[in-house]
Amino acid sequence: MKKQVFSFSPSLLEIFLLEMAVWLALWLMNNYLATLLTLIITAIVFAVLVIALIAELIDRSKVPRKYFWVMGVSVIAPILSALIYLLIFGGKIDFDL
């Protein structure tokens, strides 16, 4: 009898929508923390993406293309959610600590 293996591979759109939902929820709950995390995480993920792309150009690896796309989506999602938050609230970020 064959053993069934559950395989779940979300599409890029699903990953993007999930990330947007999480980032928008974070922005709505705590815009100070969301601002810090957006700046820090976006910078780190962007740096890793650039280094990975440079390494891939120098020497091809077995890393699937989807990795690079997911990293790109992970850079775009927090920035876009911050812009949506700013658009909704008229461009004002109020840090009530």
Do residues 42 and 23 touch, judged by C-beta distance below 8 A? no
| Domain carrying residue 80 | 12-88
Do residues 15 and 73 touch, judged by C-beta distance below 8 A? yes
Number of separate domains in the chain: 1
pLDDT tens-digit profile of 56-88? 999 988 889 999 999 999 999 999 999 999 999
Does the residue 4 lie in any domain?
no
Does the residue 56 lie in any domain?
yes
pLDDT band at 15 (very low <50, low <70, confident <90, very high): very high
Do residues 38 and 82 touch, judged by C-beta distance below 8 A? yes
Does the residue 66 lie in any domain?
yes
CA distance 85 to 74: 17
The yes-or-no verdict on residue 8 having pLDDT over 70 is yes
CA distance 44 to 61: 22
- Mean pLDDT along residues 28-43: 94
Q: With pLDDT > 90 as the criterion, what percentage of the chain qualifies? A: 72
- Mean pLDDT along residues 39-50: 97
